[in-house]
Amino acid sequence: VSSNSTSRVFTALVLCDKPVSEEPRERGPASPDVPYPDDLMGFKLFLPEGPCDHTVAKLQPGDVAAITTKVLQLNGDKILEDFSKRQQPKFKKDPPSAAVTTAVQELLRLAQVHPTGPPTLDPVNDLQLKDVSVVEGALGPEAGGADPGGSV
């Protein structure tokens, strides 16, 4: 987590599908980026359809749908260091470190065990949020919270 006076940014390890090929000309036709109906209903965790890969992404608070009660004992600094190293051309072909491999396996296991999402923290009881608008935003539209479309 990094923050300044105006914004907070979360750095997260994210699962993704492994690219078919590193060479653009060897890749198959691009699949359309159209969601399936199940993807539009509630919170569904991403589960790779084939070989699993990973990336590190910068997330804004609005990108976070919920905070889980599950705790993984991982070394975030080693994961970030390894990912950054493998972005350099010299180390691009290196396999992920043990820290990254363990983290990816744990995220994959959680996604398989909880396809609709693992148990989440309660904004009032667990996070001690008191502001009604913040609590409604944390609960989301399906629980009577804020409407992402902006209507009242």
The per-residue pLDDT for range 129-150, each reduced to its tens digit, is 777 666 666 565 544 444 444 4
Amino acid identity for residue 82 in this structure: D
CA dihedral 101, 13, 105, 50 (to 10 degrees): -100
Task: State mean pLDDT over 48-58.
Answer: 90
Please say whether the beta carbons of 68 and 117 come within 8 A.
Answer: yes
Please say whether the beta carbons of 96 and 112 come within 8 A.
Answer: no
Task: State mean pLDDT over 42-54.
Answer: 81
Looking at residue 62, its pLDDT comes to 83
More confident call, 51 vs 91: 91
The residue among 96, 89, 119, 129 whose CA lies nearest residue 15 is: 96
45-70-98 Cα angle (round to 5): 85
Percent of the chain clearing pLDDT 70 (strictly above): 67
CA gap 118, 114 in Å, rounded: 5
Q: Is the pLDDT of residue 152 over 70?
A: no
Q: Is the pLDDT of residue 103 over 50?
A: yes
Q: pTM for this structure?
A: 0.68
Question: What residues form DSSP beta bridges with 68?
Answer: 120
Please say whether the beta carbons of 7 and 40 come within 8 A.
Answer: no
* pLDDT tens for each residue of 20-47: 765 544 444 445 565 555 555 556 778 8
CA gap 79, 39 in Å, rounded: 29
Looking at residue 42, its pLDDT comes to 55
Looking at residue 3, its pLDDT comes to 63
Q: Is the pLDDT of residue 76 over 60?
A: yes
